[in-house]
Structure 1
């Protein structure tokens, strides 16, 4: 049974689901908005807030086109390079966000996009490093991340099982101490039928890791369902306002929606209970009121040989249970049993 200690939290089979507010670039390049995202994530009940740490020119060439969803949610006339420049924060900004997260009591981590970003995040004490779906085949980056010996959250969007296996092997061989795999479908948003939650079972069987779900569906129902199916980590995009301009806001949850998701996840976790089938204490009193007992279906004079037609089953369950009926048939009634009364042993045995 796997578990990972991260800060004050334990992530794994016996622990509550680790819920990540994926702030990403939903600060729109404004560090004040980013600070509010940190505070709002804490208030909404998230265990961690995650950002993306990058220098635009190290991520993308000038001619790179936007993804389809980016063209739909941002200015179609600007390039992806221009869009990302507007969404970039400095290392100094992120240092302040880490301090703010520490102040309010929420874990801070981020997605680095090059070696410089990796080293920076390690230097400020980020307890996790996120490797995004797009970099699951970026073996040089995976090697650099693994060498820092920090636990990794690895998203598997767009990847085959063999690509996932190679990424895990690369991280482990480089020295990564522990890896959380997130099932992910890379589009924003995805349809419910594209979520394919059973893939979590495949990942858990194939790789013997803690498995979670990076959710890009609309709303919260699928994230909650993933927890019911066994996800130990949920990552969900988080914004202050879904109507804000930017590539990811429309596929995100606002603080009230996120808080409701957290509440629903915690309810589901309580409802899962244990694998032991037994009557609970609250059921025992109801069992007496709701089960049936053996009842005389007619007046039974003394000397009557008890037959099946003499007996019916009615509430309450405080008398002899139906399971005793085969052992009582053929017995002689010792004293008068009025119709519609509970049959007791002293009516049949002296």
Structure 2
């Protein structure tokens, strides 16, 4: 993997200053003016870039109340469904070109995390300078392949990834001709407990995969971010809101502007941190992994119907077959009737 990667006009390398990203996520609370204020706060706090998320509830999951779509993993969002959560958290697509222009006028780099193939197309029309692959999408191989083929830098979080998942994702990028990948150590718990961060994994990832590394941090405070930098992180991503008390899906683990500014200052100073090297998942992360991508029946189907991109989709959660089988299944027939939201399994495939 390349060790010198340019995003916008900013060089990211072993010798360059740490690239600091303010993640807005759902903290705009569906208020465009608030979104602009968050970007201004990011700029004032010393961030290099602001990142948003590009999805709608229907592009990231299915509108189903079935048990596998319920959030029951011991998170701050338990008690609702994936679709209902994302109805409150997504960033309206019509805002995004406007936000990009405003961010650029502020001197901020602006990019996004897409969450399906259509959102990649949308962001390409905006000509974003880079792409972020969220932790839960690292198992979506066709999705990663499409991003990689664009040739732009990719930041990839590893929060619910086993070692084999990281290897497969990077192999997919290389096969697509994209060597501009930065791996971000991430713990997919919200907020993340300090004892589950294992910052020593950051230099290990750099050695094992031969790439630049960084940290997508969901802990409270700035200590972990600074320590991650001391261990070799060249990118730090933290959620930013105006006030946690304002609420929202991500407020509980987001920084306020003064805290973010303090973190940026600490990033330039802190040298040491503790932790162990591990690629194991904690029990919470294993539960979180249930919301990674897999294949689902996306329309009501009758026995004998042919699988198409319309009725077979890669969505959250992970109850169905791995996304690596997507192309293999297209064109085959379904063996029996199945309704929307049915996890894909081999016994649904007619091999006769």
Paired residues in the alignment total: 266
| Separation in structure 2 between the aligned mates of residue 175 and residue 26 of structure 1, nearest angstrom | 35
The structure 2 residue matched to 1:157, chosen from 132, 156, 159, is 159
Question: What residue number does 1:21 align with?
Answer: 22
Q: CA deviation at 1:178?
A: 0.3
> 2:25·2:89 contact (CA, 8 Å) conserved in 1?
no
Tell me which structure has the larger Cα radius of gyration: 1
Deviations 1:23-75 (A, max 9, x none): 11211222221111111111110011111110211111222212532336xxx
Q: CA deviation at 1:88?
A: 2.3
| Separation in structure 1 between the aligned mates of residue 82 and residue 242 of structure 2, nearest angstrom | 23
Question: Residues 214-233 of structure 1: matches in 2 within 5 Å?
Answer: 214-233=216-235
1:68 matched to 2:68: no
Question: What residue number does 2:4 align with?
Answer: 3
Q: TM-score by structure 2 length? A: 0.72
The answer for unaligned runs of 5 or more in structure 1 is 272-350
Deviations 1:136-190 (A, max 9, x none): 1100101111111111000001111111011011122123240010011101111
* Secondary structure, counterpart of 1:70 in structure 2: coil
| Separation in structure 1 between the aligned mates of residue 269 and residue 201 of structure 2, nearest angstrom | 24
> 2:241·2:254 contact (CA, 8 Å) conserved in 1?
yes
1:205 matched to 2:211: no
* Secondary structure, counterpart of 2:127 in structure 1: coil
The answer for unaligned runs of 5 or more in structure 2 is 273-352
Deviations 1:216-268 (A, max 9, x none): 11111111111111111111111111122222111010100000000111234
* Secondary structure, counterpart of 1:144 in structure 2: helix
Structural RMSD (CA):
1.7
Question: What residue number does 2:91 align with?
Answer: 89
Question: What residue number does 2:41 align with?
Answer: 40
* Secondary structure, counterpart of 1:71 in structure 2: coil
Q: TM-score by structure 1 length? A: 0.73
| Separation in structure 2 between the aligned mates of residue 183 and residue 267 of structure 1, nearest angstrom | 20
* Secondary structure, counterpart of 1:267 in structure 2: coil
> 1:188·1:251 contact (CA, 8 Å) conserved in 2?
yes
Question: What residue number does 1:128 align with?
Answer: 130
Structure having greater relative contact order (Cα 8 Å, sep ≥ 6): 2
